[in-house]
Structure 1
Amino acid sequence: MANSTEKTSQTPIDNLGAVNAIQSRFPSSYTILFGLIIFMAALTWIVPAGQFDLIYNEELARDVPVPGTYQLVEANHQGISDILMAPIKGFYDPDSGVANAIDVALFVLIIGGFLGVVTSTGSINTGIARAMSAMKGHEIWMIPIMMALFAVGGTTYGMAAETLAFYILIIPVMIAVGYDSITGVAIILLGAGIGVLGSTINPFSTIIASNAAGIPFTDGLNLRLVILVLSWLICTAYVMWYATRVRKDPSKSIVAEQKESNQDFFLKYVADADARLTTTQKIILVAFVLTFAVMIWGVSSQGWWMAKMSVLFLGSSIVIGFIGRIGEKGFTDAFVDGARDLLGVALIIGIARGIGVVMDAGHITDTILNTAAEAVKGYSSVVFINVIYWIEVLLSFFVPSTSGLAVLSMPIMAPLADFSSVGRELVVTAFQSACGIVNLITPTSAVVVGGLAIGRVSYEKWLRFVWPLLLILSILMMVILSIGAISLT
């Protein structure tokens, strides 16, 4: 195995930045996100400040906007100090005491430490090598299997932030079998993303949106199942086509110029092909797999979120370090080195959250929502539902949280369907489809920018990879929504 101390002296973000400086003039993720903060701050000087009245919804256990109550309020222009404070408040708002992204960032660091400890035992490296040996000649089928598993997580419980734990596991496998880092990123980001796009019982998307719209979440379920299956087939076929193309000709990889750098970085997680697992390593791998199984159980059925998941991985790190007998110094060194690898990812998450901080402080979020609601009045059913879809696409860029956007937009948008002979369930479907599409690319999402950072894929290259797929999926959504609108009229 390669010397991990030497390889981990730079974070994935650091390495990616060095490559991009040479290969492209496209700004880094940090610059893009900070530029968006500046742009939103500028909008607070242009867009009128306004807000809806709020009422507490017992079913949702939170305040929701009341339709027809939008009113202008005193402007709160965001200046230079607010711009500089936004990334800080993106982690934690000292004024309100609200923890924004600090829990996600801490989870990422602990995941890094956990993986560092497991890697130091040689278990994960050897385990990956043995898995590749068993799959030899059939590696391509790992793609649909894994994308199906992530899609199930997305459609049932909104699997998103917890996917950050899987990148360091899957990307080395993809590179080792001849694919590239984008293939690994796509398996996770597209897999879970299309699950959210075709949400069925996802409590953070479908159920919250349906409750906010005043309808049972089972309304429209059949149409969402169609969206889920077709989207999965399209995305899986696209990723398999790209992976096969890269394996046949590595120069076709969108990150071809990073091939050597990525191999140096990621293949430290893969042992030699003839490596054999010891009894201790087998026990560690069982504990490793159980950790992820417990995480999925906790999130899907026990209401766990970042704090409890962080506790799980921290506790599992200690247990695995004890089983591996790496010693106190070996444990702390491995944990800190692993966390250091993902430090850049943790930082970028807070900057991304700072965009929403500026919008909310400037009171322009409700103004944008009210303008969107006024724009859809008076259209036919087919035009109405497609306009709703694209409005939700726009809103999703500003509010990347599906649950947050559901609570914000559905009480306003859903009642408008009653005047266009469209069922409210179709508005919910348009909402979640739009969120699913946008959250595959939005730079304001910690899941997107975090996943790309771990995979050492620049935002520019991800857009180059995914834009044909976004076009296909958008056309599919518009066709399905139009058919749904016609069938309901």
Structure 2
Amino acid sequence: MQEKNENTKRKLQMPHIYVILFVLSAIAAILTYIIPAGEYERVPGPEGRTTIDPNSFSAAEQTPVGIVDFLTVIPRGLIDAGEVVFFTFIIGGMFMVLRHTGIIEIAVDKLTRKFSNHSIMLIPVLTAVFAVVATVIGTPELSLVYIPVIMPLMIALGYDSLVAAAIALCGTVIGFAAGVLNPINTGLAQKISGIPVFSGIGFRLTIFILAIVIAVLYIMRYARKIHQDPMTSLVYEDDQEKRKLYRHQDQVEVKHMSTRQQYAAIASLIFFGILVYGVIGQGWFMIEMAGLFIIMGTVVGIIAGLTLTQICEGFNQGFRDVLMGAMIVGIARAVAVVMEDGHIMDTIVHSLGSAVNELPPVLGAVGMYFVQLIINFFIPSGSGQALVTMPIMAPLSDIIGVTRQTAILAFQLGDGFAHILYPTSGYFMAALSIAGVAYQKWLRFFFPLFVILASLSVISLIIAQVIQWS
């Protein structure tokens, strides 16, 4: 009987994420034989970006992806996603060097002692801070930086790697989706749609606050459960090594930094200050941040007393730890590569937009949300999705009686929350790898919360349309 149960469990086990993404790529390739090819003309858009002419859709020559072409889509996906792939490697290497200096372990020990009696309150504080940063500067990719910073602390306080991932991912994606002052989705979509940039801030701020409250309560409920009984953690087995490394509750001796470690810690804070300045003031993104992290790991390592060989080995160890996540990013990108090769991406966008045209205004607003939700699977980029869909959705909203502000909100919410649901989202899969959380386990944790946030989105769109929000 026991053997039968084990066999059943193996049969019901979810496939490896590589298999899931490969199958999705294969399905996309098959669709290039079924879906008619089509394309929009590309024209100059806001801020020098390329957008589409919504009235220019036309049939194109069918270019189905054959077996020979399909063999190259994963390597080309890795090349196309190279920025995220190598950012993942470098951030993994840099934090491993910092770990080798000992300053992370000592800092965690001090913070654990300080917050041991009210550790649960770190969840709302950190989630809200990450959300505010994302809703102002539009960079949910910073979750890749946040996770390795807060992971040791969450483990040491008796939580798990899933809690650390949830704080960073949920906080940043809620801030990005609500887009209170987000130039990447709200600002760009409003420019394309021809309405004042950042208008309608009050309604978006309300959604932002409600989504944060919902997410925080959800994460805290899970965190309390595993704090009381660690065996209930979805990643209990996966976190064994992390618990050995970071759990110090029974340790009587207080750790202290040496003089060199103190200087190294100060240097780390200076580098993070430079990072914040670069992202906010200079428009830095992954390439610039990756370059800074290489210098940061090297300089901080030298100050702390590591040899150059130890620093290089630290980077190598970090590269190995995030290898799977980096590969997932490229494999996920292969789905979009297939659809672009087959010229069916524009056809899908055109067809979904036409479907919304048949709906009454209130249902049209909700329909736009689900259209954007579907498109986000294929275009997991806020700005990319805005440039492809908003030239269609803005004039379409006028035709069916949906306000343009509501159409933009449908784009924001349809694009936003799904960033940490779909395996085609590169930075999200890289973040899970850095956290050491399997996609299947994240899905089990996050999907109920996603359903709640999706319900909030639908209700918000209905209210926006009823009050004629503009």
- Give TM-score scaled by structure 2 length: 0.93
Q: How many residues align?
A: 460
Residue matched to 2:27: 39
Return closer, same or farther for 1:408/1:325 CA change in 2, 3 Å cut-off: same
The equivalent position to 1:56 in structure 2, one of 40, 44, 49, is: 44
SS of the residue 2:75 aligns to: helix
Mapping of 1:394-473 within 5 angstroms? 394-473=374-453
Return closer, same or farther for 1:238/1:322 CA change in 2, 3 Å cut-off: same
SS of the residue 2:467 aligns to: helix
* Residue 394 (structure 1) shift: 0.5
Residue matched to 1:10: none
Return closer, same or farther for 1:31/1:139 CA change in 2, 3 Å cut-off: same
What is the distance in 2 between the residues matched to 1:154 and 1:29?
27
* Residue 451 (structure 1) shift: 1.4
Residue matched to 1:9: none
Residue matched to 2:371: 391
- Maintained 8 Å contact 1:355/1:444: yes
- Runs of 5+ unmatched residues, structure 1: 1-20, 93-99
What is the distance in 2 between the residues matched to 1:135 and 1:466?
26
* Residue 23 (structure 1) shift: 11
The equivalent position to 1:325 in structure 2, one of 305, 316, 335, is: 305
- Give TM-score scaled by structure 1 length: 0.90
- Maintained 8 Å contact 1:90/1:351: yes
Residue matched to 1:480: 460
Return closer, same or farther for 1:259/1:23 CA change in 2, 3 Å cut-off: farther
Is 1:81 aligned to residue 60 of structure 2?
no
What is the distance in 1 between the residues matched to 2:250 and 2:430?
26
Mapping of 1:355-370 within 5 angstroms? 355-370=335-350
Return closer, same or farther for 1:23/1:462 CA change in 2, 3 Å cut-off: farther
Return closer, same or farther for 1:251/1:327 CA change in 2, 3 Å cut-off: closer
What is the distance in 1 between the residues matched to 2:440 and 2:321?
22
**Identity percentage over the alignment?**
35
- Maintained 8 Å contact 2:39/2:343: yes
* Residue 437 (structure 1) shift: 1.7
Amino acid across the alignment from 1:149: V
Residue matched to 2:109: 129
Mapping of 1:51-450 within 5 angstroms? 51-57=39-45, 59-92=46-79, 100-264=80-244, 267=246, 274-450=254-430
Q: Give runs of ≥4 in structure 1 deviating > 6 Å.
A: 21-24, 268-271
Return closer, same or farther for 1:78/1:268 CA change in 2, 3 Å cut-off: farther
Return closer, same or farther for 1:153/1:182 CA change in 2, 3 Å cut-off: same
Return closer, same or farther for 1:34/1:461 CA change in 2, 3 Å cut-off: same
* Residue 200 (structure 1) shift: 1.5
- Maintained 8 Å contact 1:119/1:269: no
Q: CA RMSD in A?
A: 2.0
What is the distance in 1 between the residues matched to 2:74 and 2:388?
23
What is the distance in 2 between the residues matched to 1:213 and 1:167?
35
SS of the residue 2:152 aligns to: helix
Cα deviations by residue, 1:122-155 (Å, 9 ceiling, x for unpaired): 1111111111111110111111111011101211
Residue matched to 1:25: 13
